[in-house]
């Protein structure tokens, strides 16, 4: 089954508001030819509303990078799904490896966050991926299986329509080391198989699975042409229009 690609830029903790406005505007102006490929910009919370304002007359979507699962309350420093929605965002990244590594995110909290996002009508980009140690000790498949099955526990087939999975091997994030297209394809196919087992083949065929980890203009086409790679979650290369746009264009041409 042919699935249109989805390219998301995870801006992480980069870009103040004037830089964010400028980058969003450049991407909007220079992506008017893009018709099939979905583009999602994920700026920091502080620039969400501003970036939405900048791209709202285009087909570019906006996403947050995290959320807290409670609706509201005394949770200093946290942001709810409803608050994200009110900034005009349609997506939220959940369970990024940096959240898991530095902020104690677990499969159980990933699961709560996904449910809170979906309940508010947000779509979730759910990240999974193994560390270097895990890859080298041969437990990649096991780690991915646990993250997918525990992370998505209790979701319905309908919920899955609003989910994207991002496979991001931790050792490839920000290191310049990209998984080979074959390594990435192998895990993507495994993830699709897990979704098939958990939710059925109709869901598995449709779900989009992005690859993330040092995606650049130079490697985008070979990665994106793998049968189970439906897009990219881009970090470093999404911070400049000159390096983000060629990745989107590579996706559009496939
Ligand atoms: P890099 O593209 O900088 O490796 O980051 C990938 C990533 O973590 C996207 O979420």
Q: Is the pTM of this model over 0.85?
A: yes
How far is the C-alpha of 174 from the C-alpha of 176, rounded, in Å?
6
Q: How high does pLDDT run on average in the chain?
A: 97
Domain count, the chain: 1
How far is the C-alpha of 44 from the C-alpha of 46, rounded, in Å?
5
Whether ligand 1 lies within 6 angstroms of the CB of 101 is answered as no
Q: Is the pLDDT of residue 121 over 80?
A: yes
Asked if the structure places residue 42 within a domain, the reply is yes
Asked if the structure places residue 1 within a domain, the reply is no
Asked if the structure places residue 27 within a domain, the reply is yes
pLDDT of residue 175: 85
Asked if the structure places residue 128 within a domain, the reply is yes
Q: Is the pLDDT of residue 74 over 80?
A: yes
pLDDT of residue 212: 97
Q: Is the pLDDT of residue 166 over 90?
A: yes
Measured from the Cβ of residue 90, the count of other Cβ atoms closer than 10 Å reads 16
Whether ligand 1 lies within 6 angstroms of the CB of 179 is answered as no
Q: pLDDT confidence of 197, banded at 50, 70, 90?
A: very high
Exposure of 101 in the CB half-sphere (CA atoms within 13 A): 13
Let me know if 218 is a catalytic residue: no
Which residue CA neighbors atom 7 of ligand 1 most closely? 235
- Domain containing 64 equals 6-253
Asked if the structure places residue 249 within a domain, the reply is yes
Whether ligand 1 lies within 6 angstroms of the CB of 126 is answered as no
Let me know if 252 is a catalytic residue: no
Q: Tell me, what CATH number does 37's domain have? A: 3.20.20.70
How far is the C-alpha of 144 from the C-alpha of 166, rounded, in Å?
11
pLDDT tens per residue, range 201-254:
999 999 999 999 999 999 999 999 999 999 999 999 999 999 999 999 999 999
Whether ligand 1 lies within 6 angstroms of the CB of 174 is answered as yes
Find all residues with CB under 8 Å of 76, minimum gap 6, and list them: none
Which residue CA neighbors atom 1 of ligand 1 most closely? 235
């Amino acid at each position: 089954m042919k699935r249109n690609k989805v390219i998301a830029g995870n801006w992480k903790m980069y870009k103040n508001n004037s830089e964010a406005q400028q980058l969003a505007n450049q991407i909007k102006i220079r992506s008017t030819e893009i018709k099939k490929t979905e583009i999602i910009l994920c700026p920091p919370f502080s620039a969400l509303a501003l970036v939405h304002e900048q791209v709202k007359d285009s087909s570019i979507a906006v996403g947050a990078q995290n959320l807290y699962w409670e609706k509201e309350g005394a949770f200093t420093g946290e942001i709810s799904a409803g608050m994200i929605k009110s900034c005009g965002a349609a997506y939220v990244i959940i369970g990024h490896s940096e959240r898991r590594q530095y902020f104690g995110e677990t499969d159980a909290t990933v699961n709560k966050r996904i449910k809170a996002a979906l309940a508010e009508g947000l779509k979730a980009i759910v990240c999974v991926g193994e560390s270097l140690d895990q890859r080298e000790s041969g437990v990649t498949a096991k780690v991915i299986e646990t993250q997918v099955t525990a992370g998505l526990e209790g979701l319905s087939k309908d919920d899955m329509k609003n989910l994207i999975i991002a496979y991001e091997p931790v050792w490839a994030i920000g290191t310049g080391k990209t998984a080979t297209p074959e390594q990435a394809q192998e895990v993507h196919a495994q993830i699709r198989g897990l979704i098939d087992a958990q939710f059925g083949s109709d869901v598995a065929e449709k779900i989009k699975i992005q690859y993330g980890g040092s995606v650049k203009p130079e490697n985008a086409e070979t990665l994106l042409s793998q049968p189970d790679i439906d897009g990219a979650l881009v970090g470093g290369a999404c911070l400049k229009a000159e390096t983000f746009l060629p990745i989107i264009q590579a996706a559009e041409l496939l």
